[in-house]
Structures are given as C-alpha cells and as structure tokens.
Amino acid sequence: MIEKTFKPYTKSDIIASLQKLPENATVDDAMERLAFLARLEIAHAQFEAGLGISHDEIVREMAEWQD
C-alpha cells in the first residue's frame, strides 16, 4: 500500500527552487521552473486521487507496444 504524503509546495519551497537557478537565469527560466512545479503539484494531486498509473502498469503497456 502506498502511503499518501504529498503536500502542496509552500512559498519557501518555491523560493528555494528559484534560488537553485544560475545567477544569469532569466525571467523565462524562473517561469519555466514555476510551471514545472505547478505541473508536479497537479500530477501529485491526481495520483493522490487515484488517477495515476503504476510504474508496473506502464512497463506492461510499453511491452505490449513493442510487440
């Protein structure tokens, strides 16, 4: 059983992620990073709601595509 532990990103999480960008990062770089975090948050919420596909299921599906 998978324990559900996801929590939405906080302001400090977001700032920490932006601080990891290089000094010469642009506004576009920062926006791309924030968009990525938003997509991760959506994906985690979907998984928590039972809408995800397990790794094993993906591997099985990919094996079928290759046959």
Distance separating alpha carbons of residues 15 and 13, to the nearest angstrom: 6
First to last CA, the chain: 31
Rounded distance between C-alpha atoms, residue 36 and residue 34, angstroms? 5
Amino acid of residue 33: R
Q: Concatenated DSSP letters for 23-38? A: TT--HHHHHHHHHHHH
Against a cut of 0.85, is the pTM above it? no
User: Does residue 14 contact residue 34 with C-beta atoms inside 8 Å?
Assistant: yes
pLDDT band per the 50, 70, 90 thresholds, residue 17: very high
pLDDT digits (tens, 9 = 90+) for 26-60: 999 999 999 999 999 888 888 888 888 888 999 99
Structure tokens at 23: 């000094």
